Every structure is written in structure tokens, then in C-alpha cells.
Amino acid sequence: MSIQEALQIQREYMQKVRNLVEQSGRVPLALVHTYGCQQNVSDGDKMRGMLAQMGYAFTDEVRKADFILYNTCAVRENAESRVFGNIGALKHEKEVNPNLIIGLCGCMTQQESVVQKIKQSYPQVDIVFGTHALHRLPEFLYTALQDKKVFDRCDDETDIAEGLPVLRTGKWKAWLPIMYGCNNFCTYCIVPYVRGRERSREPEDILQEARSLIQDGYKEITLLGQNVNSYGKTLAQPIRFSQLLQKINAIEGDFRIRFMTSHPKDATHELIDTIAACDKVCKHIHLPVQSGCNRILQAMNRHYTVESYLELAEYARKKIPGVSFTSDIIVGFPGESYEEFQQTLELIKIMRYDALFTFIYSSRPGTKAAMMDDPVPYEEKSRWLQELLDLQRKIGENNYQTYVGKTLQVLADGPSRSGPDYISGRTDTNIIVNFKGSRAQIGQFLPVRITEAFNWALGGEIAK
Ligand code: SAH
Ligand code: SF4
Ligand code: F3S
């Protein structure tokens, strides 16, 4: 079936659901809850877009919902247990309201073992589908409205990315997927198994979406991919990520460009030069290092060394004044020793990251690392993590202090918890700033003079 045919079928189902909704004489409410990364948030926006076209409105309250859809994440075990817990809790809701339709989708349900577990132990669930079947939500919902269950994981990876309606949650910041899937098979990671092989969108489709976002008033666009640095390699007319950045940077308008994630193995000097040269590209690089030990990096199948990583960072610091780095770290990879973990601390001291996303290794069935010996107990790994967090807190605080006295461009993006006269925003380097301002200023770039630093945010005042 061609993509156009598949889309046409779903449009027909959308109309069918819409007809049912109109016949019912009331507006049904959907609750779409997304777990996991921005890629998943972006998928959730597409499903909300389809639901809106089918006549649904939205709620955050389980009790009010006619349709509950959990868009799940499988990256660590605790992500999965949280979802199982939450659907367990819906059993009661279903008893109270037998017309409630419960759906599960996303990365967790792309795994056959999870689909089987749901079938066996969670009879309250009506619809289960994986990441590759996202565009078929109208068909599944229509089937469930006919009192039928749907279990369709869908192994076909030609998932449909173009032509679906999108209902974005934010008004100023938009997520823009430029590619799907991942080919890297880091040995700990489930993502390539649940998201399929790497596929890039056509640059023209991306540019068109970016232009329309800017026309709609969005001020920040984050380009998404599991490894944006390999963007475009598989297209019929190959194009490099840095070329895409230049094209988006050339769009007229007052906006910022971010991207994630940048895999160190494919991050080049050319990328750094492009960030330096493009005025709209934020001077912030999220460059997940995972570990500061070459043996562990190799066991993780990361394809770079501590030395090559540091060389790249040094080049970036030279070329991009004020560049900020953030990273992801896994503590307690199978077989990691305390001495090897210490090497990660050493790397953190050199890198002086603004922020870190830290995770204790979680075994994912089906991955290579899940078969490796993992002798260090969880409690021990927790202590290592605490050591790392203590170090990073000091580094982060020190980094934040260096912002005091500077005037920075801040994109005001919402009210602040500091009080009714305060608003909040983010610097180019993605740090939260709270400052005195009016709601009318939200959505604007404002020059803010930084007066205070906390360990999680900055405080300031609008510069005259
Ligand atoms: N594609 C991105 C990361 C996606 S997953 C990249 O390569 O950087 C986000 C983060 O979750 C990873 O960077 C890693 O630090 C963490 N992660 C992934 N699998 C994990 C696992 N099995 N256990 C613990 N952390 C994991
Ligand atoms: Fe997972 Fe590695 Fe792919 Fe990132 S690059 S999604 S960590 S396999
Ligand atoms: Fe993202 Fe989790 Fe899937 S991190 S790609 S939602 S497994």
C-alpha cells in the first residue's frame, strides 16, 4: 500500500469517528498522556491532532475522560513499571464507566512481550499499538467504539510521518522531528528495537514546517532525532545536518533553533563551525557522553573515546565563545568498576557541564548489555550516583555564578513561581531565568540582567 493510500484510509476512519461523535450530540473528552522523550511528545501531538479532527476535546482528568491514551516509554525499567501501575489503577475507572476506552501506544507497546502481558493481565485495556502504527489511531479508535479490542503492534517500519494533523501543546516552543529511529545499537539501549531503523525526513518538508511554525508565532524550534548528526545520510539526495541547520537559520524571523540529540561519534568540526556561524542556533550543545572510561564506552558500542570527545569540546569552546554543554551519564553499566566510574567524575570535572541527566543503568531485555555480567548491587550504584550528583551540583552552581552581572537574551515562556509579578524564561544556553515582568511580555525575547544564581535557575531584571 502506498503512503497516500494508507493516509486516505485513515481519513475515512476519521470521518467515521467524527460521524459517531456528531450523532452522540456531545463532545467527547480525550486524555493523552505522554511519557519519555521529546520524540514521544511530538508523536503525542500528532495523535492529539487526529483526535481534534475527529471531534474530541481534551482533559487532564481521568474521571472526565471518554478516551484515555497512554503514550509510553521503554527506555528504563522504572518508566515501564510506572505505566503498568497507572493502567492497573484504571481498572476501577473502567468498572465505574464501562464506556471508557483505554489505549496504550508508544515504545513500550512496540515490544511483543509487553503486548502479551497486557492481553493476559490488563483486560481493561481496549487498544494497544506500537510506534509504527501511530497514524492508524483513527482506525483503532473506530474499532474500539464498535466494542472490539485492538492489539496491533505493527512491524512495518514505513511509518507515516507526513500529512498528519498536529496539535501542539506549547505556544512559543515547538518540537520538529527531522528523523525517526536509530541505527546505533548502543548495547544498553532499547530505542533501536522500538523505533526501528533511522529514517530522515525530506529537507523541504522540514523547512516548510519550520516556516509555518514561525508564521504561527513560534519563537523556538527544537530539531529532534536520536542522532541528528547522521541526518540526511540515507536520503535519495543526501544532505548533512549542518546544511539543514544553515537552511533553517536562513528563514526570516525572530526565533531560535535548538537540536537534540547530537551523538559525539558523528559530531564534527563542521557542525561546531556551523553553530558558531548561525546566529539563530543556540550556543548550547547537548552531547551525551554516557561514561568517562574508554573500556566502558567500547562495551557500550559508542564509537568514540574520552580523548576524541574532549578534543571536540575544546574545539567548540575555542570557536563558540560562551558555549554551554550538557550531557547524559549512565552509572553502573554492567561490569563497571568503581575506578572506572571515577574516570567519569574526572571527565565531568574537565567538561564542567551546566547540567547533567543521570541514570542508573537499567537492564532492557533483548539488548546486548542485558546479557552481560552485572555484579555491582543497585545500592552500590546509587551511592556512586550520589557522589556524581554532589560533584555536579558544585560545578553547576559555579557555572551559574558566572552568569551574574551579564545581560542575556531571554525568551519569556510563561508565568514564574516566584510570584504574580514575575515571569520565567530561558537563556540561549537553556537555563531558567525568573524576573519581574508582565504576562503580556510572554513570548518575547527580552534582555535580562542576571542578578542572582541558584543551583537550578537564575534571577534577574529586564535591562533598560
Ligand atoms: N539518542 C540519544 C539518547 C536517547 S535515550 C543519545 O544517543 O544520546 C536518553 C538517555 O537515556 C541516554 O542518553 C542514556 O543516558 C539513557 N539510557 C538509555 N538506555 C538506558 C538504560 N538501559 N539504562 C539507563 N539509562 C539509559
Ligand atoms: Fe539509544 Fe544509542 Fe540510539 Fe541514542 S544513539 S537512541 S543511546 S541506541
Ligand atoms: Fe523516547 Fe522512551 Fe521511546 S526515551 S524513543 S519514548 S523508549
- Would you state the pLDDT for residue 225? 97
Per-residue pLDDT at 161 exceeds 80:
no
Closest-approaching ligand to the CA atom of 198 = 2
pLDDT tens digits along 102-131? 999 999 999 999 999 999 999 999 999 999
Find out whether the beta carbon of 189 lies less than 6 Å from any atom of ligand 2: yes
Find out whether the beta carbon of 288 lies less than 6 Å from any atom of ligand 1: yes
Q: Are strands 101-106 and 29-34 parallel, antiparallel or unpaired?
A: unpaired
In three-state secondary structure terms, 246 is helix
pLDDT: is 178 or 150 the higher one?
A: 178
Nearest Cα to Cα of residue 19 among 163, 102, 138, 127: 138
- Would you state the pLDDT for residue 364? 97
Q: How much is the pTM?
A: 0.95
Find out whether the beta carbon of 343 lies less than 6 Å from any atom of ligand 1: no
Per-residue pLDDT at 156 exceeds 70:
no
- Would you state the pLDDT for residue 239? 97
Atom number, ligand 3, closest to the C-alpha of residue 107: 3
Q: Name the residue with the closest Cα to ligand 3, atom 2.
A: 73
Find out whether the beta carbon of 189 lies less than 6 Å from any atom of ligand 1: yes
Return all residues near 158 (Cβ < 8 A) that are at least 6 apart: 3
- Would you state the pLDDT for residue 82? 94
Confidence of residue 4 (pLDDT cuts 50, 70, 90): confident
Percent of the chain predicted with pLDDT > 90: 92
Find out whether the beta carbon of 291 lies less than 6 Å from any atom of ligand 3: no
Q: How far is the CA of 413 from the centre of ligand 3 (A)?
A: 25
Mean pLDDT of the chain: 95
Find out whether the beta carbon of 227 lies less than 6 Å from any atom of ligand 3: no
Per-residue pLDDT at 158 exceeds 90:
no
Region 43-50 average pLDDT: 97
Confidence of residue 155 (pLDDT cuts 50, 70, 90): low
* Cα–Cα distance measured from residue 130 to residue 351, given in angstroms and rounded to the nearest whole number: 38
Per-residue pLDDT at 455 exceeds 90:
no
The residue ranges of DSSP E strands in 173-251, in sequence order, are 173-177, 179-180, 199-200, 220-224
CB burial of residue 26 (10 Å; 0-12, 13-18, 19+): exposed
pLDDT tens digits along 201-218? 999 999 999 999 999 999
* Cα–Cα distance measured from residue 319 to residue 277, given in angstroms and rounded to the nearest whole number: 9
Region 151-163 average pLDDT: 69
Find out whether the beta carbon of 191 lies less than 6 Å from any atom of ligand 2: yes
Q: In this structure, how many other beta carbons lie within 10 angstroms of the beta carbon of residue 364?
A: 22
Atom number, ligand 1, closest to the C-alpha of residue 286: 8
Find out whether the beta carbon of 362 lies less than 6 Å from any atom of ligand 1: yes
